[in-house]
Amino acid sequence: MTHICLVRHGQTDWNLKGKLQGQTDIPLNETGKLQAEECREFLKKSHWDVLITTSLVRASKTADIINEALKLPIVKMDHFKERYFGDGEGMSREEREKQYPDFIFPNMETYEVLTDRVQEGMKEIYNQFPDQEVLLVAHGAVISAILREFHKEEVGERHVKLFNGCLTNLHFTNGRWNVHSYNEVSHLSEHA
């Protein structure tokens, strides 16, 4: 059985300010580095075979911090890069709600394109790492899309608010991905 543990990257200053990041490459802040360290301490208690991350610095730095203890091969896969929000990137929550209350921004990546590339990435993981324990550092909209696609009975069509540094676990059983748990934060001191 293939198991994926999705790790949402640690916090950035834009997360803290409520700015929409998308594919804008914003680094971790000090809280984000601490969240990555806490993920590392929790995840080192289990066996993992590979660590996958995206090329965005907030994800790759989270992966590097986690990997200080795990010493895993790191694979970059941009199938799981954050959704591109077009003209909405860099806008505060208030600006977005005022100018685009429907959350549809000019030039943004469609939900269908996002889910197609994420689905392709999930197939690639299953094909490259069958029956392995996979850590995948990814992004909020990507993890939310995975939950909507593979856990519809629980989350429906709504967007799931995910905490920075949260863990989501999926298993490939009976020919499909199944969500075992999501938005786990018990390992993070700010949620203890």
Residue with tokens 């809280």: 31
155 lies in some domain:
yes
Beta strands in the chain (DSSP E): 2-8, 50-53, 74-76, 133-138, 167-173, 176-184
Residues marked active site are found at 9, 82
Three-point CA angle 55, 139, 169, nearest 5°: 115
CA 37 to chain centre: 16
99 lies in some domain:
no
Does position 3 have pLDDT exceeding 60, yes or no?
A: yes
103 lies in some domain:
no
Cα–Cα distance for residue pair 43/59, rounded to 1 Å: 16
17 lies in some domain:
yes
101 lies in some domain:
no
Does position 192 have pLDDT exceeding 60, yes or no?
A: no
Full domain range(s) for residue 143: 2-83+110-191
Q: pLDDT digits over 111-122, tens only?
A: 999 999 999 999
Cα–Cα distance for residue pair 178/192, rounded to 1 Å: 27
How many domains does the chain fold into? Answer: 1
100 lies in some domain:
no
Residue range 148-159: mean pLDDT, rounded: 71
Q: Print burial letters for 41-61: b (CB count within 10 Å at least 16), e (below 16).
A: ebbeeeebebbbbbebebbbb
Does position 78 have pLDDT exceeding 80, yes or no?
A: yes
Q: pLDDT digits over 24-73, tens only?
A: 999 999 999 999 999 999 999 999 999 999 999 999 999 999 999 999 99
- What's the pTM value of the predicted model, to 2 decimals? 0.95
97 lies in some domain:
no
Cα–Cα distance for residue pair 71/44, rounded to 1 Å: 10
